[in-house]
Structure 1
Amino acid sequence: MRLQRPFNTVTPSASRPPNSGVLRIQHELNTLMRDPVPFIYVYADESNITKISALVIGPLETPYAGGFFRFDMRVGSEYPMKAPTVILQTTDGGRVRFNPNLYNDGKVCLSILGTWTGPAWSSAESLSSVLLSIQSLMCPQPYHNEPGYETRDDKPAKAAYNDYLRYETLRVAVVGTLKHTSHAKQFPDVCERLFLLWHDMYMATATDLMQRLEGKTYKDAFSSSKGTYNLRPIIDALKSLKKKIMERMECLEKPQEDSSSSSDNVKSSLIYAVDRLQDEHRILSRNPHPGGSASPRDPNSPFVWDATILGPNNTPWEGGFFALELRFSYQHPYRPPFAKFTSKMHHPNITRDGIPALDLIQTRWNPNTRVGTILDALQEMLKSPSSVYPVNVEVASQYRQNVRDYERKVRRLAADGC
């Protein structure tokens, strides 16, 4: 994950906004970093912040669920009086139209962008409002986004269109993005970590499509795209990608072979990471945190820690001790650690593999975050499950529909973990 400092003033040029426009962009980007919108990520070129990449994650309960959709945003010299231009890059080279409003040539049809009829852009709009509007296009029934189809109740056509979008989301926006890192080069950690969190969902969707549609033909309702459903390569790729990403996460302390950094830079990063982690251990030893305890497995190599999260009081988790492994990067603290429960867990926000869906250590990492803060946040997560990350679908369903059974199961785990 690339972490950015607050954006500093950039000297305007003829193609960039004047100082007032640059300051406006800086403010909006810093706001998006400080108060992030769920499942929307931005990255700006620090030498020219008018060039912005945005990653929009397909919302759950839609055919786009968990897809990685990258947009290039360019802010002109008349911003904020005129809208930015936005181009969708996730199109499989111009072959897939993901929505009546998201064309295969990358065009994004929104009235505030001046590419569709309706309420026009005003200076009160922002980069955030543009991205939220794009995210809203990825709705449960995008069939109705087509003009004249708003009230059309053709259930077979709507279902067929959603199946087509699920297939292309898996093929292009998930597998294609993870296989070709250049497709989301500004967001590699975000994509890989979210992929691990949503892997079970991807597999369930792919398996369902294969059982119903494998070998059958499809035709996009709003473009000339047509073909035959072929899920086996997608399922194989999902499994292979998970294995490769997990292997990388379990070796974060080792510089990647294809690293472009010089050996001196790598050595410097390693030295700084070791110093920081040793300092973390000293702080935790002197000032224990209520969330739990943690220490390096090997004092001579502080990149792998064993931690224990204490079950929070006055909850079904009370009295339990839950083992956790923390793996830190050689680039620590500028890359987030990888956390995985080794104790058996039963929680909506913890995958079946034990990976916690916690923004703090997944996609919203801050280099100032301390290990003690991570322990406290994980304890709080046990206490208060989030509806944003139902990564364990079965447990999330139980928590919503029969909380007593959920709590009974958790109490048994806590008793076993005493």
Structure 2
Amino acid sequence: MSDQAILRITREIKQIQQSADLSIAVDYDECDIRSVRAIILGPPETPYQFGLFEFSIKFGKDYPARPPIVSAKTTNGGSCRFSPNLYSGGKVCLSILGTWTGESGEQWSSAQGLESVLISIQSLMSSNPYENEPGYEDAKSDSDTEYMVQYKAKIRHETIRIAVLQPLEVTLGLLPNGTTKSSSEKLSEDDDIDDEILAYDTPFNDLRKRRFLWYYQSYAQLIDAESENSHTQPKRSFQRMPFESSGNTMDGHFDYPELKRRLAHVKDKIIEETEAWRAEGLQAKDDELGIAVNLQRQVEQIVENLKHHKNFSIDLNLVDGNPFLWDLTYFGRPTTPLEGGIIKMRIHLSPRFPHEQPRVFVKTQLSHIRVSQDGVLCYFPKRAEEMRHHIEAMVAVLEEDDPPYDPRSTVNPQASKLFWGSPEDRKKYRRTLRRDIEKSVEDAFD
């Protein structure tokens, strides 16, 4: 591969990594930049909603004259076909990749790149994936309608089980019954994870955990809603689609009660892991590790900068002198939605920062679209390796008055429904938020 091609791949990876797009993330093999790993977030309001689907991308020596080779990795060990175009064996059937003939003008060109490939794959995760199968786009019979309903139902179930829970359980070392596991043990009778996934030290472990905390309530609501559906009762087998052939199917059965239990189990384990950072951090401080010294210096610089600019809207302190546990109090500024409020937050930092990003919990009751019902704050720093950018981003999302609609970044479903509902709903949202602000002041002086 030419140096020019290497530079192009490097540039394309960097552009995605620096992008504010929440839908895709990439990383690469440090020994071979032509070997890339990618995560695609299942689009909102589709059966794939908030699933994290992983792909491997291999750039050949003739790139960009020819497209890269892409393989789906979220397949339950090669046993689950997630779409008419996403095969259980990992094949991604897409004209831009040359794996499907497609229409004229849909083929690969050197003007395209990594981002366009990932966006094209994401487009396969549509609201009605049944219609992606050639020949079924005009399906209108009663039996076709039933197939569409059944197909979406089983994709929703398997998205939670395989694209959300399974990778986290592997990462956290969990079995569904609450015990720890060895890499040779399976998660359940339906979970069949291949050796590559078990052995692969995925760069997306932390991303999966943070997104899980963001979207936990959305996952829980979906499970509750689907549990009431007569088509998705426990142990009911998935219906096989006409285009599914032996060895390339999505077979299995529904069991939402079990998924609900596993969901809560994973959440408890992530919270437990987060709280364990406190002791790990104190040990790192005692051992005078570089990361402890670095974070101590960063918090001192942030506090000094706040004083220099006479920014009295933020008070920042270390908890028990621990550079890995910060308490932040935000005093709502005039003309902002939180005007007059006293909002307390706790910032947990990992001894592996910035490889593992901070997890921020709002301790004050706050019915806010960026704050989950469990208090998890959803925010987006411009530079993930510097804590001052994290602090700025935390304040920025809390002060947003009229953000654009984006379900991927609104982590409180109840508050979001009001905020983007009718004008009366929006008024109710603001009244509820205002009551929380007033109570925050009362609580601060109790």
Q: Same fold (TM over 0.5)?
A: yes
Cα distance, 1:266 vs. partner? Answer: 8.6
User: Is the contact between residue 366 and residue 437 of structure 2 (CA under 8 Å) also seen in structure 1?
Assistant: no
Matched, 1:198 2:215: yes
User: Is the contact between residue 273 and residue 332 of structure 1 (CA under 8 Å) also seen in structure 2?
Assistant: no
- Any unmatched runs of 5+ in structure 1? 1-16, 257-261
Matched, 1:128 2:115: yes
- Any unmatched runs of 5+ in structure 2? 172-197, 442-446
Matched, 1:177 2:199: no
* Equivalent position to 1:296, from 315, 318, 321: 318
TM-score, normalised to structure 2's length? Answer: 0.82
Q: Work out the CA distance in 2 between the residues paired with 1:25 and 1:34.
A: 14
Matched, 1:93 2:112: no
After superposition, give the CA deviation of every residue in 1:72-106 in whole Å (9 maximum; x if it has no partner): 00000111110000000110011110000000000
Cα distance, 1:304 vs. partner? Answer: 1.8
TM-score, normalised to structure 1's length? Answer: 0.87
In the other structure, the counterpart of 1:5 is none
Task: Report 1:20-59 matches (<5 A).
Answer: 20-59=4-43
Cα distance, 1:414 vs. partner? Answer: 1.8
User: Is the contact between residue 253 and residue 303 of structure 1 (CA under 8 Å) also seen in structure 2?
Assistant: yes
Classify 1:33/1:228 alpha carbon distance in 2 versus 1 (closer, same or farther; 3 Å): closer
Q: Work out the CA distance in 2 between the residues paired with 1:171 and 1:366.
A: 29
After superposition, give the CA deviation of every residue in 1:345-402 in whole Å (9 maximum; x if it has no partner): 1112210011111122xxx752134164245324434664752422211111111111
SS in 1 for 2:221: helix
User: Is the contact between residue 312 and residue 382 of structure 1 (CA under 8 Å) also seen in structure 2?
Assistant: no
In the other structure, the counterpart of 1:14 is none
Cα distance, 1:240 vs. partner? Answer: 0.6
- The worse-fitting range, judged by mean Cα deviation, of 154-163 and 80-89 is 154-163
In the other structure, the counterpart of 1:328 is 349
SS in 2 for 1:304: strand
- The worse-fitting range, judged by mean Cα deviation, of 406-415 and 286-295 is 286-295
- The worse-fitting range, judged by mean Cα deviation, of 87-96 and 331-340 is 331-340
In the other structure, the counterpart of 2:153 is 163
SS in 2 for 1:134: helix
SS in 2 for 1:359: coil
In the other structure, the counterpart of 1:318 is 339
Q: Work out the CA distance in 2 between the residues paired with 1:341 and 1:315.
A: 18
After superposition, give the CA deviation of every residue in 1:97-134 in whole Å (9 maximum; x if it has no partner): 00000000000011010000122110011100000001
User: Is the contact between residue 285 and residue 293 of structure 2 (CA under 8 Å) also seen in structure 1?
Assistant: no
* Equivalent position to 2:258, from 233, 240, 247: 233
Matched, 1:394 2:381: no
Amino acid aligned to 2:212 = F
Q: Work out the CA distance in 1 between the residues paired with 2:236 and 2:355.
A: 47
In the other structure, the counterpart of 1:148 is 135
In the other structure, the counterpart of 2:361 is 340
RMSD, aligned α-carbons: 2.5
Number of residue pairs the alignment of both structures matches: 393
User: Is the contact between residue 329 and residue 344 of structure 2 (CA under 8 Å) also seen in structure 1?
Assistant: yes
Amino acid aligned to 2:88 = N
Q: Work out the CA distance in 2 between the residues paired with 1:227 and 1:332.
A: 39
In the other structure, the counterpart of 2:226 is 209
Q: Work out the CA distance in 2 between the residues paired with 1:253 and 1:161.
A: 45
Matched, 1:373 2:392: yes
Matched, 1:415 2:438: yes
SS in 2 for 1:168: helix
Classify 1:338/1:291 alpha carbon distance in 2 versus 1 (closer, same or farther; 3 Å): farther
Cα distance, 1:206 vs. partner? Answer: 1.9
Q: Work out the CA distance in 2 between the residues paired with 1:382 and 1:291.
A: 17
Task: Report 1:233-252 matches (<5 A).
Answer: 233-252=258-277
